[in-house]
């Protein structure tokens, strides 16, 4: 089911990919890979609120993943919530201080 969902996603058949990953989530509710794919699909569907919800669930499973934390910061930033974006970018920086994109965002935030 996971690879079928990835294939649908690659073929840009987003609805079918979403169905596969939702079914897989029902079977494996704490799978980090499935939660990430669901968030990614909702981001492709331009539904940032749902993507944020799935990423928050993912953070509860893997709380120290700097990539997921920076992705959450990016989504909150695009939604206009600078304080939440700052929080998640800072957390991402704490776990991986070499990420240039996070450093750039934090620098711009402090300049503003």
Residue extents of the structural domains in the chain: 1-62, 64-111
Do the Cβ atoms of 99 and 92 come closer than 8 Å?
yes
Q: Report the half-sphere exposure of 6 (CA within 13 A, side-chain side).
A: 7
Assign residue 52 a region: left if phi > 0, alpha if psi is -120 to 50, beta otherwise?
alpha
Give the fold, CATH level 3, of 1-62. 1.25.40
pLDDT at 82: 95
Average pLDDT of the residues in 39-65: 96
Average pLDDT of the residues in 83-93: 97
- The model's pLDDT over 6-32, given as tens digits with 9 standing for 90+, comes to 999 999 999 999 999 999 999 999 999
Largest CA distance in the chain: 46
Global confidence as pTM: 0.90
pLDDT at 78: 94
pLDDT at 2: 96
């Amino acid at each position: 089911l996971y690879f079928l969902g990835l294939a649908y996603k690659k073929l840009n058949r987003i609805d079918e990919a979403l169905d596969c990953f939702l079914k897989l989530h029902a079977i494996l509710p704490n799978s980090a890979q499935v939660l990430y794919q669901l968030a990614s699909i909702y981001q492709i569907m331009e539904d940032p609120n749902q993507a944020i919800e799935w990423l928050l669930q993912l953070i509860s499973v893997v709380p120290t993943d700097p990539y997921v934390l920076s992705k959450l910061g990016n989504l909150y930033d695009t939604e206009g919530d600078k304080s939440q974006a700052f929080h998640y970018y800072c957390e991402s920086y704490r776990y991986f201080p070499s990420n240039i994109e996070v450093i750039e965002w934090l620098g711009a935030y402090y300049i503003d």
